[in-house]
Amino acid sequence: MGLFNTSSTADLSVGMPAPSFELADQTGKTHNLKDYLGKWVVLYFYPKDDTPGCTKEACAFRDDIATLQSLDVQVFGVSIDSVKSHADFAEKFSLQFPLLADTGGDIANSYGSLTKLGPLKLAKRHTFIIDPKGKLAKIYRSVNPASHSDQVIADIKLLQN
């Protein structure tokens, strides 16, 4: 195993059930995927709170949250950072959607979105749209933080029609 180790546990594809999760957000509230059956879910993984690309992506989702909510979409950001780190990040940038603390990296790993740099673990910038039945509707393994929210909204509108 080399310095860069990418998890390969998740050979996920569209139509498969989304891996379940139960994680605390920046306020300490626990979110479980099964509690969101009947809604569209955008689960986006990102490497690190309060870094340039991650801030750009989070702020774009923040700015588009009313549009996403009008489409009956629940947005979750997920990283390996702590609840406290998420709380600081959410407060600093007025992020009004849950940031889930996957401190052990288990959920990122189940989605094939965990990478290791030596002893350091990070979530890769991947996004998953989960349909109201809990199945994967769209998988993004390559994300541009600046335009990603717009891309997700356009794809959700197509998926809903």
Q: Which residues are catalytic?
A: 54
Closest residue by Cα to residue 54 from 64, 62, 46: 46
| Neighbour-count burial of 31, counting CB atoms closer than 10 A to its CB (0-12 exposed, 13-18 middle, 19+ buried) | middle
Sign of CA dihedral 17, 78, 125, 9: negative
Q: What is the distance between the alpha carbons of residues 93 and 30, in angstroms, rounded to a whole number?
A: 21
One-letter identity of residue 51: T
Please, which residues bridge with residue 24 across strands? 30
